[in-house]
């Protein structure tokens, strides 16, 4: 992709710190509630003007994706083009840094990043509600990824309450190299905690308050995910046994798990030990995304 008139947008990884499922709806979705925040790592979307709409994929996990017609990124581009009545095309380059089908909202975050990129590239005058309408039509997780900010998510994902920034801490993310399609995990869901858990609208004053909240919550998808991929239990067990581990849980529909540690050096040591034991695991140390992490950058 040439360096002329490019827009580059980060697509931060989505972390479901908790996820409670309700009953299955008539449309096939499950009602849910989830505390969501975003990591400082993720995929990257680059777009530029062109005659047609096209997409290429690069990066460490490019082999796990295709750029076929059903690709969510291409769907986002085409839908925005129609909605905004734009007649020219775009070239999209997706740098795939996150494992595919990993419980980190990668595809949804990528689609949301395309929406932000096209608004910037074409100087679109779309309202926030119009953008959210486009996002919701693409998938349940796309609306919350549109801003990549901490939120309490409800419904199938379309009802979003923004929350204050979470207290600063670092995360250890670990994926055992297993792709878990979300639909497969939901299909195996049997026990549901139910909805209506009280969440702090004013946020968390410190990490201790966040941990107290998380300890009272669950990820209802963890049990079915572990039944499909038992290695998730190995990941959680090994992370929990690491010195300084305060909290570990699976994110989203898996198989990526996150850990919060008491000290940064303990987190780094845990990452090193896990990497030595499991060469095939994806292991990343990261922080939470900054407030402006997902803002598009325009490059001439």
Q: Which residue among the candidates 14, 43, 156, 220 is catalytic per the annotation? A: 14
How far the first Cα of the chain sits from its last, in Å, is 13
* Dist. CA 248–CA 277, nearest whole Å: 19
Give CA torsion, residues 231, 237, 242, 246, to 10 deg: 120
Active site residue 83: no
Q: Which residue among the candidates 31, 43, 110, 141 is catalytic per the annotation? A: 141
Secondary structure of the chain in the HEC alphabet? Answer: CCCCCEEEEEEEEEEEEEEEEEEECCCCCEEEEEEEEEEEEEEEEEEEEECCCEEEEECCCHHHCCCCCCCHHHHHHHHHHHHHCCCCEEEEEEECCCCCCCCCCHHHHHHHHHHHHHHHHHCCCCCHHHHHHHHHHHCCCHHHHCCCCCEEEEECCCEEEECCCCCCCEEEEEECCCCCCHHHHHHCCCCCCCCCCCCCCCCCCCHHHHHHHHHCCCECCHHHHHHHCCHHHHHHHHHHCCCCEEEEEECCCCCCEEEEECCHHHHHHHHHHHHHHCCCCEEEEEEECCCCCCCCEEEC
Active site residue 201: no
Catalytic center residues: 14, 141
């Amino acid at each position: 992709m040439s360096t002329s008139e490019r827009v580059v947008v980060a697509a931060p990884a989505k972390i479901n710190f908790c996820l409670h499922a309700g009953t299955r709806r008539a449309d096939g979705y499950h009602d849910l509630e989830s505390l969501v925040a975003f990591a400082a790592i993720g995929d990257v979307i680059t777009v530029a003007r062109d005659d047609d709409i096209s997409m290429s994929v690069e990066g460490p996990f490019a082999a796990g994706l295709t750029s076929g017609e059903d690709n969510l990124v291409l769907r986002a581009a085409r839908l925005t083009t129609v909605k905004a009545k734009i007649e020219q095309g775009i070239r999209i380059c997706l740098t795939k840094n996150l494992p595919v089908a990993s419980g980190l909202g990668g595809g949804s975050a990528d689609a949301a990043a395309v929406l932000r990129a096209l608004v910037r590239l074409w100087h679109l005058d779309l309202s926030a509600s119009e953008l959210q309408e486009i996002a919701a039509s693409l998938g349940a997780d796309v609306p919350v990824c549109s801003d990549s900010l901490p939120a309490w998510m409800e419904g199938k994902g379309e009802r979003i309450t923004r929350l204050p920034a979470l207290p600063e801490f670092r995360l250890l993310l670990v994926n055992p190299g297993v792709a878990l399609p979300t639909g497969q995990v939901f299909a195996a869901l049997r026990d549901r905690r139910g909805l209506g858990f009280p969440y702090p609208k004013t946020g968390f004053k410190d990490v201790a308050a966040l941990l107290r909240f998380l300890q009272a919550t669950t990820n209802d998808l963890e049990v079915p995910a572990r039944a499909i991929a038992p290695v998730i239990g190995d990941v959680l067990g090994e992370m929990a046994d690491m010195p300084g581990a305060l909290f570990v849980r699976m994110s989203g529909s898996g198989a990526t798990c996150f850990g919060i540690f008491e000290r940064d050096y303990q987190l780094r040591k845990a990452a090193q030990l896990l990497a030595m034991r499991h060469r095939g695991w994806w292991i990343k140390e990261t922080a939470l995304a900054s407030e402006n992490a997902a803002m598009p950058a325009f490059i001439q």
